[in-house]
Homo-oligomer: A and B are copies of this chain.
Amino acid sequence: MTRPSATLSIGPVLGIGEIEPGDDLAGIIARQSQLADGDVVVVTQKIVSKAEGRLVPVGGDVAEQRRRIIEEESVRILRRRDELVISETSHGFVCANAGVDFSNVRSGWAALLPVDPDRSARRIRDGLRAATGRDVAVIVSDTFGRPWRRGVVDVAIGCAGIAAVLDLRGSLDANGRALQATEICLADEIAAAAELVMGKASGVPVAVVRGLDSTWFRRGSVAAEIIRPPGEDLFR
């Protein structure tokens, strides 16, 4: 039985500025925020990829280069329509264009997904602890489309220090019957919530969520908890 949470607050972290390969993301976030134990720091994939140097040049025939990069980053193409490719990445994410970003990156470059976004989250978390002494969780978020529903939402591609999926199996509802929807994708809900204060066009790449249930904080892994193995997936 989870307790209803107290009121949550979600605030943008301003003044992060342009991130370059090699930048100390944790140090920059620590300087621009006032973290407390139990905060969840949500960091968009783009600045993580930039700090990690996951940038590739897009020169010559841009459309052709774009296609090549997306195919290199895909292990399987699921659907293709005009410029849009829905594919599975080496991580197991199914998303548009293999998660390769061509906007909010310097002209002539594209940003690839981090090699291991859970590891990226762990590194930022460790860096934040070293810089602030605070025990926080970190979620690396990205913007994905969905089948059947228009519009994109932010989801978690990596996490550290918080459950990716909250397992309520065995819990009973208010009438004592077994709960039906029992595995809540907590990390995706937190990533979506954080997007509400980021604003795609305003370049706020970090937000802090404060007030989440303390029982939800544990190691956590998007790869281990959220990626659905192809064998149990009805749509792959």
Contacts and interface: CB of A to CB of B under 8 A. Distances in A.
B101 A234 contact: no
B173 A152 contact: no
B233 A148 contact: yes
Nearest to A86: B234
Interface stretch (A26-34, A113-121, A130-138, A198-206): A198-206
Contacts of A165: 150-151
Contact of A14 (B4, B8, B101, B143): B4
Contact of A150 (B7, B93, B179, B183): B183
Nearest to A88: B148
Interface residues of A, number: 82
Given A94-B148, A185-B151, A188-B151, A197 B4 contact: yes
Dominant secondary structure of chain A at its interface with chain B: loop
Contacts of A183: 150-152
B2 A12 contact: no
Interface in A136-168: 143, 145-155, 164-166, 168
Nearest to A163: B151
Nearest to A81: B234
Contacts of A203: 173-174
Contacts of A212: 196
Chain multiplicity (copies): 2
Nearest to A171: B201
Given A8-B9, A103-B179, A196-B189, A236 B148 contact: yes
A182 interface: yes
A99 to B, nearest CB: 11
Given A147-B234, A148-B235, A234-B147, A204 B4 contact: yes
Interface stretch (A49-57, A67-75, A221-229): A221-229
A166 to B, nearest CB: 8
Nearest to A204: B4
A235 B213 CA distance: 36
A39 interface: no
Contacts of A180: 101-103
| 6 closest cross-chain pairs (CB), A and B | A151-B185, A193-B193, A147-B235, A192-B192, A7-B11, A103-B180
